[in-house]
Amino acid sequence: MSDRILITGGAGFLGQHLARRLASEGHDVDILDIKAPGRGVPVQFIQSDLREWVTSARKRYDTVFHLAALVGGRKTIEDRPFSVYGNIEIDRAIFDYAVRRDCGRVVYMSSSAVYPVDRQRQVTDDPLTEKEVDTQRGPLRIPDYTYGWAKMSGEFIAGLAREKYGLPVVIYRPFSVYGPGQGSDYPIPAIVARTARKEDPLTIWGSGLQVRDFVYIDDFLAIVMGSYRTLPFAEPLNISTGRGVNFHEVGQTAATVAGYAPRIAADASQPAGVLCRVGSIAAIPERLRPRVSLREGLTKMFQHLSPRNRCSSILN
């Protein structure tokens, strides 16, 4: 069945991958973004600020994938903390539009930043579960910085749209998604680029001991595409692997794939964020749980580099 689909923020990393996947399945896809998508994204492009576009837009969509957000890497969030508060107005605008145009479904891409920082101050085997943050019933604890507050507000708006207006809403909480096409202000692409250049020492931000739950883009797409039509409305779902890896290990693995063994150097002057953020996979259907290991994902990242920078090592 072919649907009319809108992807806000569709020129971003997640949006372009999602657009290609949806278009390949025969859907009629529009991308809305302030910047143009890369070449080879077979969709209709609408270049506009979402907050301006909604004032005159008339088209009804079967599904709106709402990915548009003001965000960057950790340094951007910490150096310009007020900038992300614009996300609250962006979220309000799209949900108001979806209600007025009677859209069939809104898929809201929240963030693992909504989880309480007091649960992320030590390395633990106790992953973060969806029920720990309930924006409709509370109680709420302190999320991760201003971006976490903004995304928590977005989930609250999504819940209101469902409760007050009956809008079908699906909410995802992605953890550290990575893959080809992601900007170098995110850690995995930055580390891959440094190892492709055979840097020694290989610099890692923070202590290098901070732990994250890294999800390869193919696994992200598998979860979203396999569940967005069937998830309970307004009940968040993690997009996570349930496995934590620290940045020192990421650097070592990337260097191994690149075919050398550098000294790993921690740069404590750079922001590191919380110490440990790993998501529970208990609510993810078994058939959709991530399959790509970190080493496999890093190998795929190297294979997408330009030929002159591509490492010769391959996964054994």
pLDDT for 242-293, tens place per residue?
Answer: 999 999 999 999 999 999 999 999 998 888 899 999 999 999 999 999 999 9
How many other C-beta atoms can be found within 10 angstroms of the C-beta atom of residue 71?
18
**Please, which pLDDT band fits residue 315 given cuts at 50, 70 and 90?**
very low
Average pLDDT, the chain: 92
Convert the pLDDT of each residue in 208-244 to its tens digit: 999 999 999 999 999 999 999 999 999 999 999 999 9
In tens, the pLDDT along 92-106 reads: 999 999 999 999 999
pLDDT at 156: 97
For residue 75, what pLDDT is reported? 62
| Predicted pLDDT of residue 122 | 96
Portions of the chain given CATH number 3.90.25.10 = 181-212+243-279+292-303
| Range 4-177+214-239: architecture per CATH | 3-Layer(aba) Sandwich (3.40)
Distances 17 to 14, 170, 181, 279 between C-alpha atoms, Å: 5, 19, 9, 22
SS3 280: coil
181-212+243-279+292-303 carries CATH number 3.40.190.10: no
pLDDT tops 70 at residue 306:
no
Taking a C-beta distance cutoff of 8 angstroms, is the pair 171, 235 a contact? yes
What is the rounded average pLDDT of the residues 140-159? 95
Quick one: average pLDDT of 43-52? 95
Is the pLDDT assigned to residue 296 strictly greater than 70? yes
23: tokens are 């278009």
Q: What pLDDT, on the 0 to 100 scale, is given for residue 305?
A: 84
What is residue 313's predicted lDDT score, i.e. its pLDDT?
A: 34
Beta-bridged to residue 46, according to DSSP, are 32
- What is the DSSP-derived secondary structure letter of residue 181? T
Per-residue pLDDT reduced to its tens digit, 2-41:
899 999 999 999 999 999 999 999 999 999 999 988 777 7
Residues of the chain with CATH 3.40.50.720: 4-177+214-239
Task: Kindly tell me if the per-residue pLDDT of 70 is higher than 90.
Answer: no
- DSSP SS3 for 57: coil
Q: Comparing C-alpha atoms, which of 189, 216, 238, 226 is closest to residue 291?
A: 216
Model confidence at 304: pLDDT above 70: yes
Q: Name the pTM for this structure.
A: 0.93
Closest by CA to 312, choosing from 189, 181, 196, is: 196
